[in-house]
Structure 1
């Protein structure tokens, strides 16, 4: 009986475990203390000590050996493209039995996991690629851009990046230095390359789903379009693309040619950029694993890709021919879309939004043609009652994949729009990008198919506006006048979801400093604004003022004083405009030299608008906290240093440690106008916390 260890977590682990169980295989999962929902779908589970164990070849191999697994499925991410894993499995035999890696050979992974080797391999087969070269410095990038036929924009990429990590577009020479540093920081191997960027209107991201049995026999399951991206991270994917079959065929041919020469085994995705106007195209890369968006290919081809993948590795008797997969499939007659629901706050620049969420705080859409793949679920052995999941900062922000199928693009889009209106995720628990997803589906450019890889970033304001309108429609109730106020005051209802009404009574107990405990009451007389906990205002009566019968006006605004401590960190006051907040939890990997400077030398403490004050690494992506204006560092708050990991702080505070700035006062007229020489500029300081 085969026994598979799934070396992954989340929704993809559940997806693989389910297919394995359907085939009658025994299953093993790996998990962490606060991330175990997928483990409930396996027969056995091995507990890991930390997130880093998911990337540790020895740890994963030992888990497979100790559980007597016959197979190991890496899913995607983590070690799925690391050739060291299949090599280690082949050497770590249990007696005469070795653990079979469900994926391509180590030689194939070596080529596919290195973007330059993939480019070289494609070029050797006369497949179109963009001009590019390895670079070891920002100077190399600038020299490449000056080469004949290149110019700006230029794309800088990590050789081993993925999921949007290690990729930056540079529009001019001025942006090269910073982009190079960020890509280098996001590359595990610290290797990057540069290539001519093909971006802008007309350029679409198209990928071809390929399968092979290791003999040279390969086949395809048509293509997907993944052009709706933010920072080159896919958000919305569709199958098939809106391109004609004639435009798609060269990509199919190139993919099969590459896969056949590799004697590819298992699932793989071959990615391209295609100009929808001219039909010109270039090869991008190979993803040698099951892809996040494999779901939509399954929907339009009616093939369980993971099941087929498992069967190919279960016995030598299985081949594409024996599985009736050797003939080219007919073109898809339906459409499917995948919407990636993530724990990110679009209103705050897509900042990671960690938190804790319970099963009562989620309502998933249902109905014909709607499928939900999520780790916010419980296995068959879970106890009854409310479930709770922690959305942390160490792992991917993906909460769920909402997959919708229809017989036509129009039907698919209608169903998907309806699904998003049914979706509920309590925003007080975890913020999500649901408004962005809804806005994309309602946008005329999506409907007309005029989307390109930078479209979302250019059109985000209109997408958010459409999304807010779409999501807002789901709160309307039949029989309720839209103009009717749920509370008598027209300003009483805000974005807060906490039910507070006039007449609400609260008891307050105070104690401390060896003083006797005192008790007070607070009664809300009326409400003007209810956006609790962000803001609450109105009138109240309180025993703080005995004998008073006149309600007192109050305004409660969520704030964190800069003097308040959260663990080892000093927090800022979000109402002070001189403060700049670090927008997310993450590891500090770099700080501006002015933050490290000490003493009274103002030139050492000067920062310019747009300069990176702080670099935070979150989920292996480097995020820049930039200076919003020119200024001087006045004070460095407690706890801020390179290497420290900012932890999440209570919701009642600003939520994260921060960086504060003050804008220098403008120089007096007639004096030197530059900040470096302005005597009056010293009155304004940057307060870094």
Structure 2
């Protein structure tokens, strides 16, 4: 077995590979850029090598620097993780030429399947059913428009070397192609160093289902069943699960057989994924093959009991697969939620910054479910604008799908992050939706269920009870402290309050010590809050209400608290009866008028400023283009008007809510 492996990647996947290598007794080397100098991966690895500035095209994408790091450290093999050089046949061949083992498929398999255009041609020649489209490179925008009109809208514009949701747009009109084609080409060049583009028909309301394959260098290939990856946003997967709630045994076997046949046809000898677009009627078409480890591989590991990183390493060493297809079985159900540094309340735009607080749920077996969290960060680390916005991958496993979903809901409750925007409330909202719980999925799910974006959810009656009880419990602690600290006052505190959750007010009476009884005076019932785990200053409140455990995120606010349970967030005021009367008389605060301003929706770089002072602009016209985390965002005018002032230019860094353009 290898004695030392170099990991040509960063973040959570670098940490993931290190963990397997440690278990196998293999020393590790990680390479790192300026932005990752203090990263968890650097801390965990046995050795580390600095390879340049933060932009990936000056560090992680430079093959010479990776090869030099191998020579410098004596690493025998390279694990590329996913992204960066993981599907670069030239790099795999370069490793072979240098006598370094590439822990992934052979260069021929990468060339045949890794290139999206060539893979379509290969699949067609092999008789595999493919999505209709133009199998060839696109010269320019005019060429893209002609092809799109021949295929028929909607179409999907995709980078040939794409992956991870980068370099992809859906075009419904000619205008979408005119704007989307150059944007995809720019993203492809920046992310993959390859700006070739192809176009295919976009199938409406499809499901995204992929088959995990695994091969060795002796001609053996098996599949490890499927993953459902239909919950996507901007073509980036958000929630994945294994197995798929759509497939029956016959469809699963057919998809698996097709994936294995395709892998054998190219002598595939590592972990890889054959992706399909599936109809609700269980029809399916070959989409592409990812010749690398997938981000969502943990759910496959959880239902099969296999370590895919270990299997890749053993295959690269030359070992035969230790099992056959008949030995593999699906055990239970697994869900993965990608925790992203993005603000769901601001249309999911990237949110960079420091993890002031980072407290993931405890891993391991819980009552009825298991928790796993793959992360490459610690509290105090910074999420930069240079790379993917992923913070971690939270997974749950249980014997049944609904138990895994319920476990994910509780695990997300227990996940606390401060310092930047993150999508945990949104993920919780999905877990609570009946449509998701019933398995009625499609790649349009987020667009269908959140057409106006995400603004949280209204508290259910059960959540209003939680917020009421928690607010009352916290106020009681603060009131007791205040009276104890005032000379001449004993420790007794008021027991009758008015708790306002949003605009709804409830009269309550509190009693009890360790267990708090909250009598709802106007409702004739009481809430019993027990197993309280909270103290002033702690941002997470845990307890049991009515026999059900819960976790809420809490923060002090004027006369009360801001409390979030799952996707429901509210300002909770705990008032004396007289204060409650006075509050009813207060006028509501008016929001500031920003109708004449174009604000930056996120921190990032201005790629281009497309308007000038004095220019007449129509609603919907492009004002500027911003870039963050390798994604370009087109900012459009929301009203007609004349530009009064332009406050930024191409190349300028900007903060969220910074005024970019002012209208007269």
Q: Structure 2 vs 1, CA of residues 99 and 252 (structure 1 numbering), >3 Å: closer, same or farther?
A: same
CA 1:3–1:479 in structure 2 vs 1: closer, same or farther (change >3 Å)? Answer: closer
Match of 1:305 among 303, 308, 313: 308
Q: For residues 166-201 of structure 1, what are the alpha-carbon distances to aligned partners after superposition, in whole Å with 9 as ceiling and x for unaligned?
A: 11111233322112222122122222111111122x
Secondary structure of 1:229 counterpart:
strand
Question: Per-residue deviation at 1:484?
Answer: 8.0
Work out the CA distance in 2 between the residues paired with 1:439 and 1:73. 36
Where do 1:38-53 residues align within 5 Å? Answer: 38-51=41-54, 52-53=58-59
Q: Where does residue 203 of structure 2 map in the other structure?
A: 198
Match of 1:646 in 2: 653
Question: Scaled by the length of structure 2, what TM-score is found?
Answer: 0.78
2: CA distance, partners of 1:468 / 1:435: 12
Gaps of 5+ in 2: 480-496, 504-534, 538-556, 564-570, 574-585
The equivalent of 2:413 in structure 1 is: 421
Verify the 8 A CA contact 1:489 1:528 in the aligned structure 2. Answer: no
**Is the Cα–Cα contact under 8 Å of residues 350 and 629 in structure 2 kept in the other structure?**
no
Distance in 1 separating the partners of 2:181 and 2:114: 20
Measured in 2, the distance between the counterparts of 1:464 and 1:636 equals 30
- Cα–Cα, structure 1 residues 617 and 99, in superposed 2: closer, same or farther, change >3 Å? same
CA distance in 1 between counterparts of 2:609 and 2:465 reads 44
The range that moved more, 576-585 or 390-399, is 576-585
Contact 1:103 1:266 in 2 (8 A): yes
Would the alpha carbon gap of residues 425 and 583 (structure 1) be closer, same or farther in structure 2, given more than 3 Å must change?
same
Query: CA, structure 1 residues 280+198, in 2 after alignment: closer, same or farther (shift >3 Å)?
Result: same
Q: Residues 577-620 of structure 1: CA distance to partner in whole angstroms, max 9, x if unpaired?
A: 3111122222322331x33xx7xxx5xx2222112211122222
Distance of aligned partners of 1:310 and 1:467 in 2 relative to their CA distance in 1, 3 Å threshold: farther
* Residue 439 (1) aligns with residue 429 (2): yes
Alignment check: 8 A CA contact 1:646 1:657 kept: no
Q: Residue deviations 1:30-84, cap 9 Å, x none?
A: 2245431111221111123323301111111111110110011000011111122
Instruction: Verify: 1:617 aligned to 2:599, yes or no.
Output: no
Counterparts of residues 357-506 of structure 1 (less than 5 Å): 357-358=355-356, 360-368=357-365, 369-377=370-378, 387-426=379-418, 429-460=419-450, 464=454, 469=459, 476=467, 481=472
Shift, 1:558, TM fit: 14
Change in Cα spacing, 1:468 to 1:7, as seen in structure 2 (3 Å) is farther
Name the Cα RMSD after superposition: 3.5
Partner in structure 2 of residue 76 of structure 1: 82
Task: Tell me by how many angstroms 1:271 deviates.
Answer: 0.3
Residues in 2 aligned to 1:183 and 1:558: alpha-carbon distance in whole angstroms = 40
Aligned partner of residue 186 in structure 1, secondary structure: helix
Query: Corresponding residue for 2:546?
Result: none
Q: How do 1:36-435 residues align onto structure 2 when only pairs under 5 Å count?
A: 36-51=39-54, 52-92=58-98, 98-133=99-134, 134=136, 135-147=138-150, 150-188=151-189, 189-200=194-205, 203-242=206-245, 243-277=247-281, 279-314=282-317, 316=318, 318-320=319-321, 323=322, 325-358=323-356, 360-368=357-365, 369-377=370-378, 387-426=379-418, 429-435=419-425
Q: Structure 1 residues 408 and 462, CA, compared in 2 at 3 Å: closer, same or farther?
A: farther
Cα–Cα, structure 1 residues 300 and 633, in superposed 2: closer, same or farther, change >3 Å? Answer: same
Counterparts of 1:249 and 1:363 in 2: how far apart (Å)?
37
Structure-2 separation of matches of 1:491 and 1:441? 27
1:676 matched residue in structure 2: none
State the match for 1:678 in structure 2.
none
Distance of 1:475 and 1:352 partners within structure 2: 31
Counterpart CA distance in 2 for 1:425 and 1:59 is: 35
Please state if 1:2 is matched with 2:3.
Answer: yes
Q: Is the 8 A contact 1:153 1:196 kept in 2?
A: yes
Structure 1 unpaired stretches of 5+ = 93-97, 378-386, 500-525, 539-553, 560-573, 649-654, 663-683, 685-689
Q: Distance in 2 between matches of 1:477 and 1:375?
A: 37
1:518 corresponds to: none
